[in-house]
Amino acid sequence: MRSKRTMRYDPTSDQWIVELQGRRYGLNCGETLNLYIDGEPVPCSVELDRQKWYFIMKDIRFYLRESDEYMVSI
CATH number at residue 38: 2.40.10.390
Query: What average pLDDT does this structure show over 46-50?
Result: 92
pLDDT beyond 60 at 21 = yes
Please give the residue range of the domain that contains residue 60. Answer: 5-73
Q: Is 25 helix (H, G, I), strand (E, B) or coil?
A: strand
CA dihedral 28, 16, 18, 46 (to 10 degrees): -50
What's the number of domains the chain is made of?
Answer: 1
Query: What average pLDDT does this structure show over 67-74?
Result: 94
CA 24 to chain centre: 13
> What is the C-alpha R_g of the chain?
12
pLDDT beyond 90 at 20 = no
CA distances from residue 32 to 3, 8, 35 in whole angstroms, order as listed: 15, 16, 10
Q: Where is pLDDT greater, at 21 or 63?
A: 63
